Chains A and B, each alone.
Chain A
Amino acid sequence: MSKMVKLCTLEDLPERGARGFDPEQWGHDTVFVVRRGRFVYAYRDLCPHYGNTALPWRKDAYLDTKGEAIVCAAHGARFEIATGLCTSGPCLGKSLVQIPLRVSNGGDVLATLDTNNNGAESP
């Protein structure tokens, strides 16, 4: 089963930046969106290294300083923004779980979430 959820509007996202969301109300972010101009990408906030820990060291700190790659703060894994592929670090060659994303004509950022798999450690 899957459901479509509005995460935010495009304007809520920094032009070149990232933001975390908690669409299923787990009490912590489980999804993050990276925006690069008109492109947006969404991933589960889970690092493939240990499999069940979130990436950022501070809320929304998903990117390196130059905004060129997604990073996991725990052990420094780096991921391509457009594909989620880990290009260096502990989980080299593995990928973040991508979430289908659509921007509506009105600018709503809509994610399709798998409702069977919340992807998070149970609290």
Chain B
Amino acid sequence: MNIIGPDALLFGIDDIDAATQYLTDYGLEPIGNGRFEALDGTAVIIAPKDDPSLPAPLETGSMLRKTLYGVADQATLDAIADELGRDREVKRLQDGSLEATDDVGFVLGFQVTVRRPLSLPAEAINAPGAPPQRPVNEIGVEGGAQPRPRTLSHVVYFVPDAARTEAFYAERLGFATSDRFTGVGSFMRPVGTQDHHTLFFIQTPPHMQGCEHFTFHMGGPTEVMQAGNHMVSKGYQSFWGPGRHLFGSNWFWYFKSPFGCNMEYDADMDLHDEQWTAREAFLSADTTQAFLLQPREKWAPMGPPPKAAE
């Protein structure tokens, strides 16, 4: 099952204007019809919550209505239709995509991916002992930059049954588990990517089922900081971060959003293949992050200009 990762997340929301402003400030490009794209064409799609084109919401009222996966080719799409069609309804939508529900109730879509290949440099650093990553006279940072998200990275669910969720994505869709928090949930990656996770889930009581957060990859830690700082300066409220996770090694910064879940920026995630053995840890402040910082207003350690010597 050559699934690459989420191509889009669909939300049904109350306040379209607020969401439009928020997603635009976050750095996605509004291209019409409620679609807000990252540089590679992956997207957040919003519609009024009573829009009949949206799948029915979860009973909990979560605003996330569908996770739309991009797959490598038509053959993968057909294989998914066969596999899921064995024990559930698989709809074929007008646009050629599939729609089905996972074992805990999240609506999934599958389409031949719309991702455009990106060719962009990663954040480059210079360090003693290593050849320079930035050639001489090339500047590392620009004040006031507003970096754009590159690609939809991952979605995190609250699920009523983490073991059942893991089994579904592993056995039916071929996802591998990269790491696991004991009794909480697993970080999973589909076959078509080496990213540490495109899916994580957290065991909760059934009334909490929904979306914990989702995020786009940025070009590096500096872009996470600059994009987050831009959000703070626009009056959006940080939820967690900036910091750096341990599982996945990704830099993170989470913001509350008008989607009833957090929206994150992340960068520099570990890559894994079948040689990797999943780790397991108990979830705690120490195991979720290497460090955690808090933003503050820009400030400089300078008093009034020094008096000229008499």
Interface of A toward B, CB cutoff 8 Å: 27, 53-54, 56-59, 61, 64-66, 71, 73-76, 88-90, 92, 123
Contact = CB atoms under 8 A, between A and B. Distances in A.
B262 A76 contact: no
Given A73-B260, A75-B261, A76-B260, A53 B208 contact: no
Nearest to A20: B237
29 contacts: A54-B237, A57-B236, A57-B255, A57-B256, A58-B235, A58-B236, A58-B237, A59-B235, A64-B14, A73-B256, A73-B257, A73-B258, A74-B239, A74-B256, A74-B261, A74-B262, A75-B212, A75-B261, A76-B61, A76-B62, A76-B210, A76-B260, A76-B261, A88-B207, A89-B60, A89-B61, A90-B207, A92-B208, A123-B294
Given A76-B61, A123-B294, A90 B158 contact: yes
A27 B295 CA distance: 11
A59 B257 CA distance: 12
Interface of B: 14-15, 22, 60-63, 158, 204, 207-208, 210-212, 235-237, 239-240, 255-258, 260-262, 294, 296
Contacts of A54: 237
B255 A89 contact: no
Contacts of A71: 260
Contact of A75 (B15, B255, B260): B260
Contacts of A27: 296
A58 to B, nearest CB: 5
A74 B208 CA distance: 12
Judged by DSSP, the binding face of A is loop
Nearest to A57: B256
Given A58-B235, A64-B14, A90-B158, A76 B255 contact: no
A78 to B, nearest CB: 8
A59 B208 contact: no
B205 to A, nearest CB: 8
Contact of A88 (B14, B61, B262): B61
Nearest to B204: A90
Given A57-B258, A59-B237, A75 B207 contact: no
Nearest to B294: A123
A56 to B, nearest CB: 6
Contact of B207 (A56, A57, A92): A92
B254 to A, nearest CB: 9
Given A53-B240, A75-B158, A76-B63, 14 more contacts: A27-B296, A53-B239, A57-B22, A57-B237, A57-B255, A57-B256, A58-B235, A58-B236, A61-B258, A65-B14, A76-B61, A76-B210, A88-B60, A89-B207
A99 to B, nearest CB: 20
